[in-house]
């Protein structure tokens, strides 16, 4: 059993330069797993939709090992308005999706301020949302394997983005 105080939601302006953002993730376990990886990798800001599992739900807290409380969390209502606000605030929006023409993760030129957007476990990110992002990234995989679990993919991508910043 755990008892704690839920931190106040951060405003978009209070978020750090590196943000992990989720769109329609349906698994509470993935919410917690991504939070744990973000905390471990120093991605201290977490954007989630109001219409999905809550990051402070019992299962998400357990899977995150409580690390969700280390993150500045913001719940958004409208992904389009939120992405536009982030772009206005000089964030480069990277969408994670396996599509033709996407940038291989090993070749990405990392912006100083970035958001990594992860989509639904099964259907990914809609074309309408991909169209408003700055760049689509993909993890290079062996032929015949379509994707990673979203929590694993988010971890790999956050690692690469946080370490590439130092290399540029």
Render pLDDT for 129-147 as a digit per residue (tens, 0 to 9). Answer: 999 999 999 999 998 888 8
4 part of a folded domain: no
Count up the domains in the chain and report the number.
1
> Residue 24: which CATH number?
3.40.1280.10
Rg (CA), the chain: 15
Q: In the prediction, which pLDDT does 5 show?
A: 63
86 part of a folded domain: yes
Q: Phi and psi of 144, rounded to 5°? A: 100, -15
Q: Three-state DSSP class for 97?
A: coil
5 part of a folded domain: no
**Rounded Cα distance, 108 and 113, in Å:** 14
Q: Which domain covers residue 84, as residue numbers?
A: 14-167
88 part of a folded domain: yes
1 part of a folded domain: no
pTM attached to this predicted model: 0.93
Q: Please list, in sequence order, all residues whose beta carbon lies within 8 angstroms of the beta carbon of residue 47, skipping any fewer than 6 positions away.
A: 15, 19, 20, 21, 22, 73, 74, 75, 76, 82, 115
Q: In the prediction, which pLDDT does 3 show?
A: 57
Provide mean pLDDT across the span 112-141. 96
């Amino acid at each position: 059993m755990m008892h704690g105080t839920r931190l106040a939601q951060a405003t978009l302006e209070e978020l750090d330069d590196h943000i992990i953002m989720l769109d329609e993730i349906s698994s509470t376990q993935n919410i917690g797993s991504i939070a744990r990886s973000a905390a471990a990798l120093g991605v201290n800001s977490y954007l989630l939709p109001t219409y999905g599992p809550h990051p402070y739900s019992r299962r998400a807290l357990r899977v995150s090992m409580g690390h969700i409380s280390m993150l500045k969390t913001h719940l958004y209502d409208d992904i389009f308005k939120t992405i536009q606000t982030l772009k206005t605030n000089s964030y480069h929006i990277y969408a994670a999706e396996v599509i033709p023409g996407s940038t291989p993760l090993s070749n990405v030129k990392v912006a100083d301020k970035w958001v990594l957007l992860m989509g639904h476990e099964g259907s990914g990110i809609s074309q309408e949302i991909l169209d408003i992002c700055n760049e689509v990234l993909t993890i290079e995989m062996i032929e015949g394997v379509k994707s990673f679990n979203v929590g694993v993919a988010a971890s790999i991508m956050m690692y690469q983005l946080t370490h590439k910043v130092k290399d540029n």
